[in-house]
């Protein structure tokens, strides 16, 4: 009868031996500065790390740039929304606003800052921004709400306050969506 080949257990025993009984691998020093490295051994000594606190100086700058960029992106989104462009168009065509500000009504700055929020999903719009015309500058405020889920937006406030002047309401009681019936038979809010 032939004997079966015997499993060699010596490599397995080495895995379960205590670390003091395991063979130690020799480590090769890292190359010196200025010397040419011709070959890298896998069991070489790792280079020493320089500990630096440079990131402590640059972290506040990074946070500042990220916050500024985020605010600028959100403001750009607001300034190009349909609500802002529509209110600017309505302001340009309003006779009372043109008599106060003058012709050629635009944003007061080349990079306008839109204060407030535009939340059309939840039915709340409350914005204000600086505008200018040929005569003077002022602040336009627009606030609109949608009380029912499928209802129309109701303009609560649309006013213009010239710099150093008195706030004037531009609605004049003729909100085009007020008291208008919807296709479903209900009244607009």
- Tokens representing residue 58 in the block: 């640059």
Three-state SS at 61 = helix
Tell me the backbone φ, ψ of residue 10, rounded to 5 degrees: -65, -40
For residues 51-84, one letter each, b for 16 or more C-beta atoms within 10 angstroms of the residue's C-beta and e for the rest, the string is eeeeeeeeeeeeeeeeeeeeeeeebeebbebebb
> 55-189 belongs to which CATH class?
alpha beta
How confident is the model at residue 185, as a pLDDT?
47
HSE, CB side, 13 Å, CA atoms: give it for residue 137: 7
Outline where 22-181 has alpha helix (H): 54-79, 82-93, 95-101
Q: Residue ranges per domain, the chain?
A: 55-189
Does residue 29 contact residue 45 with C-beta atoms inside 8 Å? yes
Answer yes or no: pTM beyond 0.75.
Answer: no
How confident is the model at residue 53, as a pLDDT?
83
Q: Which residue has the tokens 């302001």?
A: 91
d(CA 141, CA 100): 15
Q: Which residue has the tokens 């700055």?
A: 109
Q: Return per-residue pLDDT of the chain as tens, 189 residues.
A: 566 666 565 666 666 666 555 556 666 666 677 777 666 666 677 778 777 888 888 999 999 999 999 999 999 998 899 999 999 998 998 888 898 998 889 999 888 999 999 988 888 999 999 999 999 999 999 999 998 888 888 888 889 999 888 888 888 755 544 554 444 444 444
Does residue 42 contact residue 34 with C-beta atoms inside 8 Å? no
d(CA 110, CA 148): 37
């Amino acid at each position: 009868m032939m004997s079966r080949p015997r499993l060699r257990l010596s490599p397995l025993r080495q895995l379960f031996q205590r670390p003091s009984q395991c063979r130690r691998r020799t480590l090769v020093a890292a190359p010196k500065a200025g010397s040419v490295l011709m070959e890298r051994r896998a069991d070489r000594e790792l280079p020493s790390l320089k500990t630096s606190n440079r990131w402590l100086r640059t972290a506040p700058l990074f946070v500042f740039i990220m916050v500024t960029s985020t605010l600028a992106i959100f403001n750009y989104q607001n300034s190009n929304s349909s609500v802002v462009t529509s209110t600017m168009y309505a302001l340009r065509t309003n006779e009372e606003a043109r008599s106060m500000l003058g012709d050629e009504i635009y944003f007061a700055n080349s990079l306008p800052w839109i204060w407030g929020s535009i939340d059309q999903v939840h039915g709340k719009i409350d914005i204000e921004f600086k505008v200018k015309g040929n005569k003077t500058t002022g602040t336009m405020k627009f606030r609109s709400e949608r009380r029912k889920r499928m209802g129309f937006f109701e303009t609560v406030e649309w006013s213009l306050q010239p710099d150093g002047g008195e706030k004037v309401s531009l609605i004049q009681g003729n909100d085009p969506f007020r008291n208008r019936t919807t296709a479903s038979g209900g009244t607009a809010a």
